[in-house]
A = this chain, B = another copy of it.
Amino acid sequence: MALDKKKTPEPTLRRLPRYLHLLIRLMEGGRTEVSSTVIAKELNLDPTQVRKDIEYTEITGKPKTGYNIAKLVDAIRNFLNWHIDKKAILVGVGHLGTAMLGYSNFEKYGLHFIAAFDTNQKKIGTKVHNIPIYDLNDLPDIAKTHDVNYGILTVPPQYAQFVTEMMIEGGVRAIWNFAPTQVKVPDNVVLENAQLTQSLAVLSRKYVELLEREVD
């Protein structure tokens, strides 16, 4: 596989789930084929962009009819590795952590919670949404034993780096950070920052730009 195949641009990756949601809706509505033009129109994107994004999944459309929807759904899921179950742990069972543990849709995306961790003695030993809560100190051992793939950080910012290092010690190679802070990871670990502030920055600035355009 060529090296340039190996680093898909992030904006493309962010759009693929949007295509997937749309395609599933179309499929449920009885459609079997769809063109990039229709996808682009539905999602308010540029058709060339849509075609380029989809090319990464190695699916090509036909000139007249476009893409076979079922095949494209499979191709996107496979490309994102959502067809394979990965084991996940979560640290920080507060409001956001609880919400995440209860998000049953994650299973559809290959994310399977096996354990959660906290430092609160009242939470340790209980279950939240049927996921057992363990003492944070046991994280490295439990992660190693179960060969955990994903570590999800929903801790206060001051604990984020410390917990990241415990996850890495436990062999976790992909960290999904929801703590409102930056964490550092070595080159052999993947980090995705999902801070709400990043999305809020887009919303806030777009809103200002919208109002500014109207004033002009």
Contacts and interface: CB of A to CB of B under 8 A. Distances in A.
Interface of A: 1, 6-8, 10-11, 13-18, 20-22, 25, 42-44, 79-82, 86, 94-96, 98-99, 102-103, 105-106, 109-111, 149-150, 173-174, 176, 180-182, 184, 188, 190, 192-214, 216
B206 A18 contact: no
B204 A82 contact: yes
A205 B79 contact: yes
- Classify the interface of chain A: helix, strand, loop or mixed: helix
Contact of A190 (B184, B192, B193, B210): B210
Given A10-B202, A79-B205, 9 more contacts: A14-B202, A18-B198, A21-B180, A21-B181, A43-B182, A81-B204, A150-B207, A192-B206, A194-B199
Contact of A80 (B99, B106, B201, B210): B201
Query: Copies per complex?
Result: 2
A194 B193 CA distance: 12
Contacts of A102: 95
A188 to B, nearest CB: 7
A192 to B, nearest CB: 4
Nearest to A149: B207
Contacts of A181: 21, 25
Contacts of A173: 207, 210-211
B99 A203 contact: no
B197 A109 contact: yes
